[in-house]
DNA sequence: TTGAAAGCGGTACCAC
DNA sequence: GTGGTACCGCTTTCAA
């Protein structure tokens, strides 16, 4: 159980002040015009004793945690799992740590999670919002916290979102089938009331209407086995 | 952008010291024999201004972060994704926050991740270790940090592990097929050199040997399409 | 070139 | 019953 070493320990050992050590360790040696020799000595010693800064203390002082809270519907879902994993890698490269949590698409759960993240002083938020989270997202923004929505968004409330082109995708897919000579084309979807689903439906409908074809939709949620068609 | 309120703000408003506020907010009012009325007043005010403790400051002072670092092979993998999600829920119920990271089953990556977690002062670790992480796991333990391995473990190094009964499972499955009259039973596996795979293989072999049946194994990694048998 | 010291927001010991 | 205050480890201003 090697004892934690702090910048004071190394300052004492080097006969300098903690400030000097802090400067050197943060690459501000040049800026603060600290002698090259001193800098070398400190760096060498820090490496020797395997100094690791206490991020907690740093965060308390700077007010930044380099932490991003990420809310998805379910981390175990392949779509969100992959998204989480990829974003995690990118974040880490940029020196950020992602905090994940699953909302179950439940706004109450999501609210609780946001509270946890706020308690942890997350610097920013990446959210795949469940329906009903409008207020909370707005509250975050009003408090000056960076928020980006993904996979879904709220119509009417101004946010930065990254979403697939659901409308265009459904439209193109439908057109493609039409070009291949198909006439009876159905859309299997979920009636979740979520905006991304609605966008797909609209894309499909628009393509069908342009060709004056009948609209056919399967509701995957009410017919899990996909046994019958509605409308 | 409502300003962050601290216990000092509350203390000033209530004309008491920050110490008193801290006691009340931490349920130590009775223990510290603080008057019921004062307690009520402070609680009410805290609620009114929606006070949220700064966990960073709390962590710095107490040395505990109520955070657990979790290393899996791949968060996007359904097995690990589900494990992550379930553990996350339990942890949160207990007031802990899980930090996830994917090792890609690469010890170098895992080491870097452990460094990040240590920097974040994680209170404990849950690890599905890649081969070659023995030293690092031992180092954690020597530093007095709680570690639990899951899904795999290292033979010979003493750790707390939670793993499936791979040997017993393979043995029972094989026996089951034998009881149903099958004689040529093959094991499709991966030659990963990982202990859990070896355990399964041993369970299968033992069951086959007890009946004097021929050992047949498919190596799923060298024959991804599972086209031919070896041995 | 370098260092003293004031915080960041809490906790908890000890005194009154 | 309540409060003063030192301290957790680090950053940063200001002075020397």
**Angle formed at CA B68 by CA B63 and CA B73, multiple of 5 degrees:** 145
A26-40, A66-80, B79-93, B175-189: the lowest-pLDDT one: A26-40
Give the tens place of pLDDT for each residue, A188-214. 887 667 788 888 989 999 999 999 998
- Element of type H or E holding A67: strand A67-72
Token pair 């797909």 in the structure block, residue = A200
| Å: A98 CA to D14 C1' | 37
| B226: alpha, beta or left? (left if phi > 0; alpha if psi -120 to 50) | left
pLDDT of residue B191: 67
Average per-residue pLDDT for chain A:
87
Residues contacting residue B1 through CB under 8 Å, at least 6 positions apart: A142, A143, A144
Instruction: Name the band, by pLDDT with cuts 50, 70 and 90, for residue B125.
Output: very high
pLDDT of residue A191: 67
Q: Do B82 and A102 touch (CB under 8 A)?
A: no
Question: What span, in angstroms and rounded, lies between the C-alpha atoms of A88 and B213?
Answer: 48
| CB nearest to B116's CB, from A60, A81, A97 | A97
* Min Cα–Cα distance to chain A from B88, Å: 8
Average per-residue pLDDT for chain B:
87
pLDDT of residue B226: 42
Whether the CB-CB separation of B5 and B49 falls below 8 Å is answered with yes
pTM comes to 0.82
| Stronger pLDDT, A156 or B231, i.e. the higher one | A156
pLDDT of residue B2: 57
Whether the CB-CB separation of A216 and A231 falls below 8 Å is answered with yes
A29-33, A38-42, B40-44: the lowest-pLDDT one: A29-33
CB of A23 within 7 Å of some strand D atom? yes
pLDDT of residue A188: 86
Whether the CB-CB separation of B94 and B66 falls below 8 Å is answered with no
| Rounded-to-10 torsion of CA A165, A170, A174, A177 | 80
Could you tell me which of B50, B1, B51 has the C-alpha nearest to residue A144? B1
pLDDT of residue B103: 92
Which two structure tokens, joined as six digits, stand for A6? 């702090």
* Min Cα–Cα distance to chain B from A161, Å: 22
Residues contacting residue A139 through CB under 8 Å, at least 6 positions apart: none
Residues contacting residue B223 through CB under 8 Å, at least 6 positions apart: B230
Interface test with A, best of B1, B47, B55 (most A CBs within 10 A): B55
List the nucleotides on chain C closer than 7 A to a protein CB: 1-5, 7-13
Which two structure tokens, joined as six digits, stand for B40? 């009520």
Per-residue CA distances from A90 to A87, A97, A155 (Å): 5, 10, 28
A93-97, A121-125, B186-190: the lowest-pLDDT one: B186-190
Whether the CB-CB separation of B214 and B184 falls below 8 Å is answered with yes
CB of B20 within 7 Å of some strand D atom? yes
Per-residue CA distances from B213 to A30, B177, B220 (Å): 74, 12, 21
User: Which DSSP state fits B202?
Assistant: H
Could you tell me which of A147, A145, A157 has the C-alpha nearest to residue A71? A147
Side by side, which strands form the sheet with A124-127?
A: A97-102, A67-72, A124-127, A147-150, A160-162
A29-33, A76-80, B72-76, B153-157: the lowest-pLDDT one: A29-33
Alpha helices in chain B (DSSP H): 7-14, 18-25, 36-48, 55-62, 78-93, 107-119, 134-142, 166-179, 195-210
Q: Say what percent of chain B tops pLDDT 90.
A: 48
Token pair 């609680």 in the structure block, residue = B43
* CA A73 from centroid of its chain's CA atoms: 12
Alpha helices in B15-165 (DSSP H): 18-25, 36-48, 55-62, 78-93, 107-119, 134-142
B101 near A CB under 8 A: yes
Could you tell me which of B37, B111, B103, B41 has the C-alpha nearest to residue B76? B103
pLDDT of residue A3: 64
Which two structure tokens, joined as six digits, stand for B230? 């070896």
| Å: B220 CA to D8 C1' | 53
Q: Over A105-133, what HEC string results?
A: CCHHHHHHHHHHHHHCCCCEEEECCCCCC
Instruction: Name the band, by pLDDT with cuts 50, 70 and 90, for residue B28.
Output: confident
Could you tell me which of A91, A116, A92 has the C-alpha nearest to residue A102? A116
Give the tens place of pLDDT for each residue, B178-230. 999 999 999 988 766 778 888 898 999 999 999 999 888 877 665 544 444 44
* Min Cα–Cα distance to chain B from A213, Å: 40
**Angle formed at CA B5 by CA B2 and CA B11, multiple of 5 degrees:** 145
Question: What span, in angstroms and rounded, lies between the C-alpha atoms of A66 and A11?
Answer: 26
pLDDT of residue A221: 60
A81 near B CB under 8 A: yes
Q: What are phi and psi of B56, to 5 degrees?
A: -60, -50
pLDDT of residue A220: 65
Q: Do B75 and A85 touch (CB under 8 A)?
A: yes
């Amino acid at each position: 159980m090697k004892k934690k070493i702090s910048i004071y320990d190394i300052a004492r050992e080097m006969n300098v002040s903690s400030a000097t050590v802090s400067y050197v360790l943060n690459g501000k040696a040049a800026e603060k015009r600290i002698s090259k020799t001193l800098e070398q000595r400190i760096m060498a010693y820090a490496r020797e004793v395997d100094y690791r800064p206490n991020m907690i203390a740093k965060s308390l002082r700077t007010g930044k945690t380099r932490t991003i809270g990420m809310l998805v519907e379910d981390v175990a879902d392949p779509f969100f799992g992959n998204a989480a994993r990829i974003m995690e890698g990118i974040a880490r490269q940029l020196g950020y740590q992602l905090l994940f949590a699953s909302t179950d698409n439940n706004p109450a759960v999501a609210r609780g999670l946001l509270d946890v993240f706020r308690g942890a002083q997350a610097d920013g938020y990446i959210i795949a919002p469940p329906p009903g989270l409008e207020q909370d997202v707005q509250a975050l923004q009003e408090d000056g916290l960076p928020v980006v929505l993904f996979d879904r968004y709220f119509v009417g409330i101004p946010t930065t979102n990254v979403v697939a082109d659901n409308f265009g995708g459904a439209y193109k897919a439908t057109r493609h089938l039409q070009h291949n000579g198909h006439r009876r084309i159905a859309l299997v979807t979920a009636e979740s009331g979520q905006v991304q689903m609605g966008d797909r439906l609209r894309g499909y409908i628009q393509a069908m209407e342009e060709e004056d074809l009948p609209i056919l939709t399967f509701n995957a949620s009410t017919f899990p086995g996909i046994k019958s068609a509605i409308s």
